[in-house]
Amino acid sequence: MRVAVVTIAAHRDRHLRMQLRSLGRSRRACDDHVVVAMGDPRTMDAVSEHGHARGIWLDHDEGPLPLAAARNIGAAAALAGGADLLVFLDVDCMASEELLGRYVSAAEQPGNRSALLCGPVTYLPPPGPGGYDLDGLDQMRSPHPARPAPPNGSVTAGTDFDLFWSLSFAVGRATWQHVGGFCTDYSGYGGEDTDFAQTARAAGVGLRWVGGADSFHQHHPVSDPPVEHLRDILANARTFHRRWGRWPMRGWLNAFEAGGLIEYDRDLHTWVRT
């Protein structure tokens, strides 16, 4: 089974370098690593310096990042290179030594071949002056409590597709083609991964949580709720509602409403900025 990692990136070259280092320690080497640079030359520089990945340039000047389109471009390049299993890894995430091997083992089981495979993600605290110690990642393991984290080596079937996230997941060639990739009606932050999961569910694709396929999310400043992404989230929420008849990201929408940033217009049947 040929395994390709797909990463999309912009203005995260320091995080990307750490990811590249972590993948270099993988017990199961990846056969290809495609990094899609969304209008950021520093991303291409980081890839060139490492030498074990290949960069693909995606023109982008200003405005919301084309996350969905970038993932599709990266997947297409990986499949053209002969990949049987696509492993999508967020640029902020470092891979555990077992991540690729656990995804491969899960994908080789007949009951999982037509499923989205998701691994546990640990959100790390800020690094010390010397940065993160790759040798000590396992000691920092604390999977996000909102998602299943099965024991190492086990795979658990999931039913709540709203728990899917694009930080770390794997999907086989045939399943990716069956789902059709990410919907490019979405632009910028929020919603496109929830849509992908719903599209997969509607297509009869399963959901599996893979124990031991751990990744570690590097710390960076965020807002809660992410007010800097309000415009994108609101636009993407409307797109999701149009496609699926319900509102996604309700926690964020409710927090924006509580903060007086948006309100629900009962005449227009949609959320609007105040």
CATH architecture assignment, domain 3-217: Alpha-Beta Complex (3.90)
Q: So where are the chain's domains? A: 3-217, 227-273
pTM of the model: 0.96
Question: Which pLDDT value is given to residue 211?
Answer: 98
- In the DSSP assignment, the letter for residue 36 is E
Q: How far is CA 256 from the centre of its chain?
A: 24
Largest Cα–Cα separation, the chain: 57
Q: Smallest Cα–Cα separation from 246: which of 271, 265, 273? A: 271
Average pLDDT for runs of 10 along the chain of length 274:
98 96 96 98 96 95 94 98 98 98 97 96 94 94 96 96 96 98 95 97 98 97 90 97 97 96 95 95
Q: Which residues of 26-59 are buried (b: 16+ CB within 10 A; e: fewer)?
A: bebebbbbbbbbbbbeebbebbeebeebebbebe
Cα angle, residue 248 at apex, residues 93 and 202 outer, rounded to 5° = 90
Q: Smallest Cα–Cα separation from 213: which of 125, 106, 75, 83? A: 106
Question: Which pLDDT value is given to residue 49?
Answer: 93
Question: Which pLDDT value is given to residue 115?
Answer: 98
Question: Which pLDDT value is given to residue 101?
Answer: 98
Q: Which residues contact 57 (CB under 8 A, 6 or more apart)?
A: 37, 44
- The answer to whether 34 and 53 are in contact (CB under 8 A) is yes
Two tokens, residue 266 = 């009962």
Q: How far is CA 48 from the centre of its chain?
A: 23
- The answer to whether 247 and 257 are in contact (CB under 8 A) is no
